[in-house]
Structure 1
Amino acid sequence: MNLIFLHGSGCSKNVWDQQLSFFDGSIALDLPGRSNGEVLESVNDLAQWLIDYINDHALENVVLVGHSLGAAVVMQAALLADKNIKGIVLIGAGARLKVIPQLITSLSALVDKLASIPDSFLQANENIPEPFKTNINAAIKENGAQTMLDDFNLCDKFDVMEQLENIHLPVKIIVGEKDRMTPMKYASFLHERITHSELTVIENGTHMVFAEQAEVVNKHIQGFVERVIA
């Protein structure tokens, strides 16, 4: 079994450090648009990029784990029905990820001024333990406002609400009880419309629940992977 992790908007693969140390041989990828290639124009393009990665590296029996934008990419990849994908885990996910216009405007202003990302944009990471919080925040600031803006624009265009019934893989949905960015109603919507899905709500978790409560989330991912293998 090959486990691949995909991060959310503005982030880098280091958000998954607590997962990589738990799951031997697992892989975390940086989405294009950072230091590894051009910005892609849609989540569908990102999903095709992911499938190309899987095929180019001859990976079989793959379970994909995605957070937020990464979860959108994972869902889109599942809809492309690649034979090597055996299951998916969606964390802080939504079938549609509309972004409030004020956030797009604020990021655009930062880009125009060539300004760095202020700490106010990192409040969602407050409950992540050290040193992971500092490392994650540093990577976000290094990626910069343009990367975050590009990612949020991809989110804003993403919508698979009418396609969820076409996902036929086993699906694990994980959401933090106090997630305000992709609240529990988003997770419930996914669970109701994806036939082979199971939903787990993490008590006191927020949008970055996998980094806040890594031990708890890792156990849920591990149990799901074991069931997929079985």
Structure 2
Amino acid sequence: MDFNGKQVFYELNNNNSKTIIIFIHGSGGDASEWKNQLKLINSYSVIALDLPSHGKSDKFENLSLNLYVDVLKTLIDSLDYARIIICGHSLGGAIIQSYYFKYPEDLDALILMSTGAKLRVSPAILESLKRDYEEYLKYLNNVAFSKNTTNSIIKEYKDHSSLIGAEVTYQDFKICDNFNLFEKTQLINAPCLIISGTDDKLTPVKYSQYFHNKIPNSTLVLIENAGHMVMLEKYKQVNESIIKFVKSLE
């Protein structure tokens, strides 16, 4: 997809459905985090986006929440589906909340996964990113996953994260740190599915419970033995929850 002369990559699994679900990854991530959703959600069309400077997308000079929202707008405007649902994980959740408040008429529903209305980032994470990227990746592995998660899943995630690099990840975390829609959450009128792993240390369950308490038309799904990377750790439960939610909108 062209965006101001640069290429932004997305992966599409078109299942000839009138409904499409767009998946937006989190800080220092890429579209590969949604591999189990792209492959296994066959009832609906599915897109996983690489944000600018992530994955297979071109490098951009300055990353910002506004840029990410504008890229998502360009993508959505290019689509022709009767129903559009966006799912954001962590930073992706900040992007889709911001998008909703700017373009509510574009969307039929939101899926808020491992995210919050406010996303403060620990100074220790920001410091370790600047100081020693390898140290940061080790730290991330310890906090991003449930202790029950297999090493192969953790290693694959670390290998992908290491390709994104410290600078892009740092900019993403700064965007998170400055994000705050705490006072607007109750104004979300769209149907919302909220998903959280019970072992999430980065965006604890209380963040998701806050959404559920404030958003009138919301469904909360807590997934046992999953951490922050719930869509990798417990993809079957995540996919079942998403399919059930989307079906309820029909």
Q: Which has the higher contact order (CA 8 A, sep 6+)?
A: 1
The reply to whether residue 32 of structure 1 matches residue 52 of structure 2 is: yes
The one of 30, 37, 40 aligned to 1:19: 37
Q: Give the TM-score, by structure 1 length.
A: 0.89
The reply to whether residue 119 of structure 1 matches residue 138 of structure 2 is: yes
How large is the RMSD of aligned CA atoms in angstroms? Answer: 2.1
Give a deviation string over 1:29-77, Cα, whole Å, max 9, x none. 1111224241554324322321221103345411111110111111111
Indicate if the aligned counterparts of 2:153 and 2:233 stay in contact, CA closer than 8 A. no
Q: 1:118 to 1:169 in 2, by over 3 A?
A: closer
The reply to whether residue 172 of structure 1 matches residue 162 of structure 2 is: no
Aligned equivalents of 1:178, 1:205: Cα separation in 2: 5
Indicate if the aligned counterparts of 1:177 and 1:205 stay in contact, CA closer than 8 A. yes
Q: 1:132 to 1:178 in 2, by over 3 A?
A: closer
SS in 2 for 1:21: helix
Aligned equivalents of 1:127, 1:97: Cα separation in 2: 25
2:141 maps to a residue whose letter is L
| Structure 1 residue 9 displacement after superposition | 1.0
Residue of structure 1 in register with 2:107 after alignment: 85
Aligned equivalents of 2:162, 2:228: Cα separation in 1: 19
Q: 1:76 to 1:39 in 2, by over 3 A?
A: farther
1:77 maps to a residue whose letter is Y
Indicate if the aligned counterparts of 2:121 and 2:177 stay in contact, CA closer than 8 A. yes
Indicate if the aligned counterparts of 1:12 and 1:136 stay in contact, CA closer than 8 A. no
Q: May I ask how many residue pairs the two structures share in their alignment?
A: 226
Indicate if the aligned counterparts of 1:191 and 1:198 stay in contact, CA closer than 8 A. yes
Aligned equivalents of 2:38, 2:151: Cα separation in 1: 16
Q: Give the TM-score, by structure 2 length.
A: 0.83
| Structure 1 residue 119 displacement after superposition | 2.8
Aligned equivalents of 2:81, 2:148: Cα separation in 1: 34
Aligned equivalents of 2:154, 2:124: Cα separation in 1: 25
Which runs of structure 2 are paired with 1:153-164 in the superposition (5 Å)?
153-164=174-185
The one of 56, 78, 83 aligned to 2:78: 56
Aligned equivalents of 1:153, 1:121: Cα separation in 2: 16
Unmatched 5+ stretches in structure 2: 1-18
Q: 1:131 to 1:100 in 2, by over 3 A?
A: closer
Aligned equivalents of 2:71, 2:62: Cα separation in 1: 9
Indicate if the aligned counterparts of 1:171 and 1:196 stay in contact, CA closer than 8 A. yes
| Structure 1 residue 210 displacement after superposition | 1.6
Give a deviation string over 1:136-160, Cα, whole Å, max 9, x none. 2211001111121111011001100
Residue of structure 2 in register with 1:6 after alignment: 24
Aligned equivalents of 1:165, 1:81: Cα separation in 2: 17
Residue of structure 2 in register with 1:108 after alignment: 130
Unmatched 5+ stretches in structure 1: none
The reply to whether residue 199 of structure 1 matches residue 220 of structure 2 is: yes
